[in-house]
Amino acid sequence: MSPYDDGESSARGMPIEQPRAISAKQAVSYTVGAFIALSVMFTPQLSMPAEAASSTATPTASVTRPMSVEQRNLDAAQSILDAADAKLKVTQKSVATAKAADDKQLAILKKAEDKANKAKDDLVSATTKLTTMRGDVKVSDKAVEKQKEKIVAFKQAQTESLVGLDKARVARKETALKLTTAQQGTKSYEKTKQTAQKSYDVANQKFKLYESQQAEKQKKIDASKKVATEKLKAKQAADAKVAKKNAERKAKEEAKIRKTNLDALKKQISKQDEKVKKAQTNLKALEKELRSLNSRKTIEKQEVKIAQAKTKLEAEKSILKELKAKKV
């Protein structure tokens, strides 16, 4: 083992395991996909929403409004924004992880450089010391040989430190590349999120404008309903007043007709009563005349007249009874 081997030689230069980074190409493809989704989402609609019906229409019972185009666009923009934000957070986390790994590998590289520099300095120092020892007659050959052994060990340590340094440099390049790739992905998603945010802001403004227009339209509808209700109440009151007058006039006319009919009926009853009295008087006269007759033939004729007079009297009484029944 080298005199400067601290047990990290095998660890140095090994690539640090990193989460899967998003390549710049993938980031661009995601961005293009987001643009396509946004362009499709905000393509002008040919059909008008049901709420855009004329406010002059007859007010009807309120029903549940279907989701408007503006609301659907806002929801879609929100979904895209949320997705972009989520992906941005993932890439930011990848950047943080890659940065931590790169910092760690940078520290390992710095340590490897320090170790290589120390090995170089130690070798130079040992070589210089050997040169000095050779020129000193007081130094024994054994000491010189021992110094040569140290130089061999220092050369071995330097070789190992340089190998470790090369590995650390390669590993640092890998972590730096992963960090750069992750940062590029983050920048791409930052642009995607900015685009999604702008689209969301536009959709939100359109939705707020739509809601404001709907509120104004509803306000007009409510005002129209109020006016229509007031007009209806006024018309109903006027109709009721006219109906009352018509009913009163009709009642008066019917009362007048009933009075006229009653007066006419009274006259009929009076006339019929006179007819009954006349028939009774005629019957009594015939019966009185019968008592003064002596001829059988004359009596029979008189009895026929009396029977006819009785029949007529009953008929006149029946008519009088019917007329009196009408009076009731």
pLDDT of residue 300: 92
Go through 312-321 and write b for each residue having 16 or more CB atoms within 10 A of its CB, e for each that does not.
bbeebbeebe
- Burial environment of residue 106 by CB neighbours within 10 A (0 to 12, 13 to 18, 19 or more): middle
> What CA–CA distance (Å, rounded) separates 236 from 240?
6
pTM exceeds 0.85, yes or no: no
pLDDT of residue 108: 95
Per domain, the residue ranges of the chain are 24-44+67-238, 253-327
Return the closest-CA partner of residue 54 out of 221, 223, 228: 221
- Give residue-wise pLDDT tens across range 238-297: 999 999 999 999 999 989 898 888 888 889 899 999 999 999 999 999 999 988 888 899
Amino acid at 234: A
Q: Pull the structure tokens for residue 185.
A: 């992905």
- Give residue-wise pLDDT tens across range 131-179: 888 888 788 889 989 999 999 999 999 999 999 999 999 999 999 999 9
Task: Characterise 3 by phi-psi region: left (phi > 0), alpha (psi -120 to 50), beta (else).
Answer: alpha
Judge whether 109 and 168 are in contact, CB under 8 Å.
yes
Amino acid at 37: A
| 4 or 238, higher pLDDT | 238
Q: Which fold has domain 24-44+67-238?
A: Helix Hairpins (1.10.287)
pLDDT of residue 65: 65
At 1, is the pLDDT very low, low, confident or very high (cuts 50, 70, 90)? very low
- CB neighbours (10 Å) of residue 96? 14
For residues 110-121, give the mean pLDDT: 93
